[in-house]
Chains A and B, each alone.
Chain A
Amino acid sequence: MEVTLQNLTKIFPSRNRKSKESVTAVSDFSLTIPDGKLIGLLGPSGCGKSTLLNLISGLEKPTSGRIFFGGDDVTELPPEVRGVGLVFQNYALYPHLTVLQNILFPLENLKGDKKLTKQQMLEKANEAASLVQISEYLERKPSQLSGGQQQRVAIARALVKMPKILLLDEPLSNLDARLRLQTREELRRIQRETGITTIFVTHDQEEAMSISDMIVVMKEGVLNQIGRPQDVYDEPVNLFVAKFLGTPPINVFRGRVESERLMIGNESVLEVKGVSDREVWIGVRPEGFIPCENGTLTCAQTAIEVMGRDMTVVASHPDCENANIRAIISSEMKVCESAKEARFDLKPNKTFIFEAGSGERIACGPVPLA
């Protein structure tokens, strides 16, 4: 089911009687989510991701704007008739019911011609349970399960009524690191097998990038960028998106454009055709550095971290926003460990230039200096 959000806005009235300040959680949000895709909704804590999810599920009513499932306007519909499955951050499994009873619960609520017989319900529940591989725990109470198993039960409960849309709120945040890796692949598999349009919320960019068909980056309730993970990574529209994606994070330098040359400190690093003189932010991905004896950028080298497959040169530069510059280079490169100074050339396609004020990307194709 295709989901369309049209100028969606959600304003929460102030809770404090003294301050009249209201909070805009989601602001003029327009987005079309194609059918059958896995979408990662990505942003820092408090950026309105969960509110957006609640708006789609119907638990919250938008202040303005409309929501469409397929061609149908569902803005005014209550959650129970929207046909969405929702997995909560803390799973919200009913503690007094067994796993099977939990999974059966949504089916028992069906009314009218959708009503199922006991036998059909059990079949469906077993199907959902085997899809998430928890068939052997059906008689247990949620408290007798591990975090990962509870997570699966929550997904099974959301899937059992075959929702048109599956929504997951920070589905992996309560799991330990190893389980998280495993579960996110599982999530991908389940989504592929069922083909249900799935939207999941996360603040972990790695999680979002690794399994999503598309990622949606939002900040303070505003949509910043939407696209395939690699595209968003390669072509961030602004400094926020560039900073938010990628580990280690992008290295940001204060710089300026002077007669079509990109300057960091006194060194000109790249040529930028057609850009007038101005102050800019320069973002360089960790893999965008080429160590070079007479490179254009000179940094103070502090350490070398060897990872085996590649290595990281840790350096610092007075004009760099990050405390440390991290440059990931191939381990085949020869780098002197005791050197005090590291010189790099910058890869033009890994270097992004942003307006100093707004942080918007300046569209230009930087080229190496002639």
Chain B
Amino acid sequence: MKNDRKAWLYLLPAILFLGAFMVYPLVDVLVYSFEEGYNSASQTFMGVGGYNYSYVLHDPYFLQAVKNTFILVIITVPVSTGLALLISLGLNSIKKLKELYQTVYFLPYVTNTLAVGLVFMILFKKTAYTEGMVNMLINLFGGKSVDFIDGPYWAKMFVLCFYTVWIVLPFKILILTSALASVKQDYYNAAKVDGASKWRIFTRITLPMISPMIFYLVITGFIGAFKAYSDAVALFGTNLNAAKMNTIVGYVYDMLYGDSGGYPSYASAAALILFGIVFTITVINLMISKKQVQY
């Protein structure tokens, strides 16, 4: 008993902080989402029910945001993980200048977001003076210029996906190169003596051995991509609804503080819907990975 009390005493600071800054807001969001017609100025509401959810689910802006987010997730998670795997395999097999390449691939991770935004402007943005580097390339091969920032939906989505992949790549490469390095040389030697081809060594030895790390990256990748917001802002500005480039988190933010803001109830409902989506997908991921990763 005495020990119990001591343990609680040690835990107290953490519990107080977590309670005040995590548990209480979480519960509050849940409460808000069911309070209909909540007014943040007067702190009053008209009734309790599911109207907020119904409103959000019928809001075309929200549906657009859900569509954008899903496209972003479905494209960037597999592409970035696959690319990271390819690059890590490459890094793992070269000897000369390995450190240099590792540094180069890790640079985006330590680069300031604004600087990255500037780079993307140079790449994609049309100004009075230039069409942007990518358009110059397209023109070089005889194509027509595309307005990537204010142009058609697919062009903007392409830029957003490109940006997201580029931003998340370094971390994934870092994790995968260390995972690859931790596979003992003996396994490769054994497989070589046993006459396995390079492809078979990769699929039967390397991939299963680093699969826990790949699953980790996929799960965190899904969560990260579902929470995308700042990337879209960096590329398309704050009025994402007008640009049709909003994400779910962007929608939540707009409902709270945007031009159409001041609706914490709608924001809470949208946030909880997002939570539901992320939770479901993570559980599915974990179930699959339990089946696959075992040794």
Q: Which residues of A contact B (CB under 8 A)?
A: 57-59, 78-81, 84-86, 88, 90, 92, 94-97, 105-106, 108-111, 141, 143, 157, 161
Pick the residue among A79, A86, A109 that contacts B197 (CB under 8 A).
A109
Beta-carbon contact of B193 and A80 below 8 Å: yes
Pick the residue among A84, A90, A161 that contacts B186 (CB under 8 A).
A90
Complex alpha-carbon distance, A105 and B196, angstroms: 8
Beta-carbon contact of B190 and A109 below 8 Å: no
Residues of A within 8 A of B10 (CB): none
The 10 A-B residue pairs with the shortest CB-CB distance in the complex, in nearest-first order: A80-B195, A106-B194, A92-B186, A109-B195, A96-B295, A95-B295, A92-B190, A96-B208, A86-B193, A79-B193
Complex alpha-carbon distance, A161 and B196, angstroms: 13
Beta-carbon contact of A110 and B192 below 8 Å: no
Q: Judge whether B187 is part of the interface by a CB distance below 8 angstroms.
A: yes
Tell whether A80 pairs with B189 under 8 Å between CB atoms, given A94-B205, A96-B208, A96-B295: no
Residues of B within 8 A of A143 (CB): 295
Contact with A along B158-196 (1 / 0, CB 8 A): 000000000000000000000000001011011111111
Beta-carbon contact of A85 and B195 below 8 Å: no
Beta-carbon contact of A109 and B189 below 8 Å: no
Pick the residue among A78, A86, A96, A110 that contacts B190 (CB under 8 A).
A86
Q: Which residues of B contact A (CB under 8 A)?
A: 184, 186-187, 189-197, 200, 204-205, 208-209, 211, 294-295
Residues of B within 8 A of A79 (CB): 189, 192-193
A interface SS class = loop
Residues of B within 8 A of A90 (CB): 186
Residues of A within 8 A of B190 (CB): 86, 88, 92, 94, 157
Question: Shortest Cβ distance from B264 into chain A, in angstroms?
Answer: 49
14 contacts between A and B (CB under 8 A): A80-B194, A80-B196, A81-B195, A86-B189, A92-B186, A94-B204, A96-B209, A96-B211, A96-B295, A105-B194, A105-B204, A106-B194, A109-B194, A109-B197
Question: Shortest Cβ distance from A90 into chain B, in angstroms?
Answer: 6
Complex alpha-carbon distance, A95 and B187, angstroms: 10
Complex alpha-carbon distance, A109 and B192, angstroms: 10
Complex alpha-carbon distance, A143 and B186, angstroms: 17
Pick the residue among B184, B194, B205, B294 that contacts A161 (CB under 8 A).
B194
Tell whether A96 pairs with B294 under 8 Å between CB atoms, given A86-B190, A105-B194: yes
Tell whether A94 pairs with B195 under 8 Å between CB atoms, given A105-B204, A141-B295, A143-B295: no
Question: Shortest Cβ distance from A93 into chain B, in angstroms?
Answer: 8
Beta-carbon contact of B196 and A85 below 8 Å: no
Question: Shortest Cβ distance from A256 into chain B, in angstroms?
Answer: 51
Beta-carbon contact of A84 and B195 below 8 Å: no
> 11 additional contacts, CB 8 Å, given A80-B193, A88-B186?
A58-B193, A59-B192, A80-B194, A80-B195, A94-B204, A94-B208, A96-B294, A97-B208, A109-B195, A157-B190, A161-B195
Complex alpha-carbon distance, A161 and B195, angstroms: 10
Complex alpha-carbon distance, A58 and B294, angstroms: 32
Question: Shortest Cβ distance from A95 into chain B, in angstroms?
Answer: 4
Complex alpha-carbon distance, A97 and B194, angstroms: 15
Residues of B within 8 A of A94 (CB): 187, 190, 204-205, 208
Tell whether A59 pairs with B189 under 8 Å between CB atoms, given A96-B209, A105-B204, A109-B200: yes
Question: Shortest Cβ distance from B186 into chain A, in angstroms?
Answer: 4
- In the complex, the chain A residue whose C-beta lies closest to that of B207 is A96
Complex alpha-carbon distance, A90 and B294, angstroms: 20
Complex alpha-carbon distance, A309 and B189, angstroms: 47
Residues of B within 8 A of A111 (CB): 195
Complex alpha-carbon distance, A61 and B240, angstroms: 61
Pick the residue among A57, A92, A110 that contacts B187 (CB under 8 A).
A92
Question: Shortest Cβ distance from A67 into chain B, in angstroms?
Answer: 15
- In the complex, the chain B residue whose C-beta lies closest to that of A95 is B295
Complex alpha-carbon distance, A85 and B205, angstroms: 18
Residues of A within 8 A of B184 (CB): 92
Residues of A within 8 A of B211 (CB): 96
Residues of B within 8 A of A92 (CB): 184, 186-187, 189-190
Complex alpha-carbon distance, A108 and B194, angstroms: 9
Question: Shortest Cβ distance from B184 into chain A, in angstroms?
Answer: 7
Residues of A within 8 A of B194 (CB): 80, 105-106, 109, 157, 161
Complex alpha-carbon distance, A143 and B197, angstroms: 26
Complex alpha-carbon distance, A85 and B295, angstroms: 25
Question: Shortest Cβ distance from B195 into chain A, in angstroms?
Answer: 4
Question: Shortest Cβ distance from A186 into chain B, in angstroms?
Answer: 21
User: Which of A78, A86, A96 has the most CB atoms of chain B within a 10 A radius of its CB?
Assistant: A96
Question: Shortest Cβ distance from A55 into chain B, in angstroms?
Answer: 13
- In the complex, the chain A residue whose C-beta lies closest to that of B190 is A92
Complex alpha-carbon distance, A108 and B186, angstroms: 19
Question: Shortest Cβ distance from B219 into chain A, in angstroms?
Answer: 19
Beta-carbon contact of B196 and A88 below 8 Å: no
Beta-carbon contact of A59 and B193 below 8 Å: yes
Pick the residue among B193, B204, B209 that contacts A85 (CB under 8 A).
B193
Residues of A within 8 A of B200 (CB): 108-109
